[in-house]
Amino acid sequence: MTLKVWLICIFYFVLTAELDAKAQYQDHEAITQAVSQYLLSTAEDPTQDFEVQVAHLDSRLRLAQCMQPLHIFLPHTNQTSGNVTVGVRCQGQKPWTIYTKASIRVFKEIAILKKPLIRGTIISKNDIRFIKKDVSNLHRGYLTSLEDIINKQLKRSLSSGAILSPSNLIAQKVVKRGQKVSIRAANKLLDIRMSGHALMDGEAGQRIKVRNDHSKRIIEGRIIAPGVVRVSL
């Protein structure tokens, strides 16, 4: 046998051995794909901008080929964003379980300030703009709707570009304690108005106590407009 033939035989033998070995072990890429697909399926809103990155497995890891679909699970949490640990389990004839890391990033259009604003400022549409940002690690929250922002009051001063969160804002008080208010009692047949005074601060939609100036009675009603409180007949 010539040297060339001998080398070809050795090459063929090594290649066959490698192919046989690969057939015996679970493909790492298949594991990564299964984890990625599972995490993508956990998205609360499938239409949102969602990105998953799964850590590469150690190339030295050898796992028996799983003849059943891999079982993917979150062992410690139902967290669907940020950095997570993911479990992968084979329940075949040669069972195994491993854990890998993954990063889940969710991008949304969120509100930020166009300019610095001081504490107590009433937010208007011209004060904010929306940018797309990864919200996975915004643990203090964020806002995506104008309705949740406009006419709200800043609890503290914020710089330009600051992310607005629910904790930054309070509803504007449209009635203040001691203020003269119009008390309105109405149904399909009657619409009675009387004067009174508020006994507490309140925002639109909130129930507060008021004193009827005529009867001196203390009653409870809901603020329906600045300075107007509606009570039940």
Among candidates 54, 82, 47, which has minimal Cα distance to 70?
54
pTM of the model: 0.59
Confidence of residue 116 (pLDDT cuts 50, 70, 90): very high
Confidence of residue 147 (pLDDT cuts 50, 70, 90): confident
Q: Which residue has the higher pLDDT, 48 or 222?
A: 222
Give the mean pLDDT of 147-152.
88
Give the mean pLDDT of 91-98.
90
Query: According to the model, what pLDDT value does residue 3 have?
Result: 42
Q: Report the alpha-carbon distance of residue 93 to residue 85 in Å, rounded.
A: 25
Query: According to the model, what pLDDT value does residue 10 have?
Result: 43
Token pair in block for residue 49: 């901008």
What is the three-class DSSP state of 2? coil
Query: According to the model, what pLDDT value does residue 230 have?
Result: 93
Whether residue 54 contacts residue 29, with contact meaning beta carbons closer than 8 Å, is answered with no
Among candidates 120, 123, 114, which has minimal Cα distance to 149?
123
Query: According to the model, what pLDDT value does residue 8 have?
Result: 41
- Answer yes or no: is pLDDT of 20 > 80: no
- Answer yes or no: is pLDDT of 227 > 80: yes
Beta-bridged to residue 99, according to DSSP, are 87
Q: Any idea which of 57-61, 83-87, 168-172, 219-223 has the lowest mean pLDDT?
A: 168-172
Query: According to the model, what pLDDT value does residue 2 have?
Result: 55
Q: Report the alpha-carbon distance of residue 191 to residue 98 in Å, rounded.
A: 70
Q: Report the alpha-carbon distance of residue 28 to residue 4 in Å, rounded.
A: 35
Confidence of residue 128 (pLDDT cuts 50, 70, 90): very high
Token pair in block for residue 176: 């203040």
Burial of residue 9 (CB within 10 Å: 0-12, 13-18, 19+) is: exposed
